[in-house]
Structure 1
Amino acid sequence: MTTGRVVIVGAGQSAAVAAHALREGGHGGAIVMAGRELHRPYERPPLSKAVLVGAEEPRLDVLAEEAWLRCNVELLSGADVVRMEPAQRRLHLANGQAIDYDQCLLATGGEPRLLAWAPCGGERIHYLRTLDDARRLRLSLQARPRIAIVGGGFLGLEVAHSALAAGASVTVIESAPALLTRFLPAEVSAWLEATLRSEGAQLRLGASVSCAETTGEGPLLLLTQGGERLEVDELLVCIGMSPNDALAREAGLAIAPGGGVLVDAFCRTSDAHVYACGDCASQLRPGQQQPTRMESWQNANEQARIAAAAMLGSAPPVPPYPWFWTEQGRHNLQMLGLPAADLVYVRRGDPASGKALWIGHRGGVPVHGVALNAGGELRALRPLFDRARPVPMHEFGQDNLNLRAWAKQSLADAAATP
């Protein structure tokens, strides 16, 4: 059990999970959580879906009420930490308050990347990161507007489906020639594009917007670099996220070359008393040449638990194989791992039927899995990814194959092979 004061900077998913892990692990000292927002830690995935179009706003708390109370956290809402003094183990808030810590966890997340010509908070211009952002966008969607979404990533496409469900006219503008090619094999990307078009979305692929013009009370006029003029009522910008690493950077902590607070396998920063986790943290993982940030629900949770274990002096949990998921309208996509140019994909099922499973392998070793409305099947295959041993991928597409039995036998055969 530890008894010192832990201060968590940030009050999102990672912060709440870390606080819970600290208490469950035996931390008996104070836990102070300083967050910019006025809300208790909440789940962000529903912001692009249920919060926008649900009949009622869903409950979003990361922790159930009983679990939150057990954490006994001193939550400072609307608190902006503006300066850190690692040598003194002290944080300074914008209101002039100073907070000393024995250990500090940076869970500051990230901020949407901005377009210079689309200011955050501008009239009819939206960015989506917070609950208040989602509530503002929901109100706009009630008028069934013409909405342009700049950015065809997971978030932008989730909102596109939600906006279509709300009766809006949707145009997605994506600079890449195809959707989500960093995360999906070409066949899945093509299916996603076809699905969006069939549901009524207009797609402008390989296009970008150079500026927007306002016409007083009238619509926004968007000008693409190709010279097209689009007239819309609302604009949503979803072009990625930048890590909130300014506090650490200004305090002299190590920052990864691509941005983000640099942490080791235990989520420790370059200061022995400061840890970082979630979207603000950049970590060197096995098989990678450079530290990277992994913006996912799973990573936010797992890094929080790893950081908590390190602060407690306990053995960290084993990091699971990277897992991502997205709800694209009525379709669920789940992914294990990340694609690579040298992977060979084998498909099981037919995406036209609404259910399919792809495995990208390297010499028979499963590396990347994508499940379309087949999350249970992909989870059954997860041990194959964890073990990283060759399996008979030529059998994967057989119609009469029992996947769970095949996975179990493949693991047994791989274990028996010298």
Structure 2
Amino acid sequence: MFDLRFIRTHPDLFDQGLQRRGLDPLSAVILEIDQRHRHALTEMQARQAALNTLAKTYSTVKATNGNLQELTQNIDQTKQDLKDYKHQADQTEQDLHRLLSEIPNLPADDCPDGADEADNLEIRRWGNLPSFDFTPKAHDDLGVALGLMDFERAIKLSGSRFVVLYGDLVRLERALAQFMLDIHTREFGYKEAYVPLMVNESVMFGTGQLPKFRDDQFQTNTGHWLIPTAEVALTNLVSGEILAEADLPLRYTAYTPCFRAEAGAAGRDTRGMIRQHQFSKVELVSITTPEQAVAEHERMTGAAETVLQRLGLAYKVLSLCTGDIGFQSEKTYDLEVWLPSQNTYREISSCSRCNTFQARRMNTRYRPVDGDGKTQFVHTLNGSGVAVGRALVAVMENYQQSDGSIAVPDALQPYMNGLKVIARKS
């Protein structure tokens, strides 16, 4: 959401930000509705004041047995005018809220310009690509051959874009999640939380999933929404609150299932576990002051990178361009991990800073230590630390062996009771 005062004061800057995202200017439309809204409010106040005066006059005239006919007509007309202007004020307020709630965040000055993912800026690479003396297989072929990955029964249970895992692959998935949580909580100071997987509509609105991305979400018959990421719940832990600056930054992490309808992904990644309706992720969320936000963004990205480095997985870091950053983001780093079967890097984490965009939707503020007592909106950040399902895919493909078995990375063996190789059991 945006501060109307900013748009009134800096309409050109607002439109320039939208233009960088490839969107048409909107300040004129917004300000025209805003003007009608403020006009309606002014007229409401004038009519209410007039009614108060007429009421006193009515009492005086009635006490002296004067003629009340014209005065009564005037009162009735003023009441009707008040009702009409209230309707206009309510309608324009709704129009403003609807319009502003569907406009994406403005990109940061240091967000690279571009039209789409082809214009993303590579920042760095880490690790050596694995070398095989055989043709590497895709994770789904490996998993099915091991008897530990089952797509056919998943279709029987739920339809496409689901999977059933068995045995050591389930253990590996759990090991990955525990490994990530240990890094984030012990080394980076994130506070682990267990959060609801179903949230109300205001929570989804607060982080920007609603109303624009309604079709990408799953809603229950109770009105709850299944979380598409733990970011939704973790960020809203502080919704509606006024925080103390001394307590910031707040850092939260959670390991949860995530649910996405993938309405806009028809025909993309239909094989395997890359794009599913249900998947697991370790999420990172930070609540900061404006001064902390940039450094916190780098720190969060570094936490996600640490996971991949400890697993020995080659990856690259991209700064997403203005045409590719998410709805809530002003700047995003994507981490892409190497997948041998596709001979390319694929996204495994996005770390974004959102400025006050989510804080305004959630009405979350902090009170500065040095100041006049006025509150300010916090800055929010979120990132994957990392997507557990995709990490499982990456480990399977990068650590596969010629006989179809999968070597367990050294960092994960303590979480697997010392197991070093996942092989098909007779």
- TM-score bracket, normalised by the shorter chain, equals under 0.3
More strand by share: 1
More helix by share: 2
Q: Which has the larger radius of gyration?
A: 2
The structure showing larger relative contact order (alpha-carbon pairs under 8 Å, at least 6 residues apart) is 2
TM (norm. structure 1) is 0.20
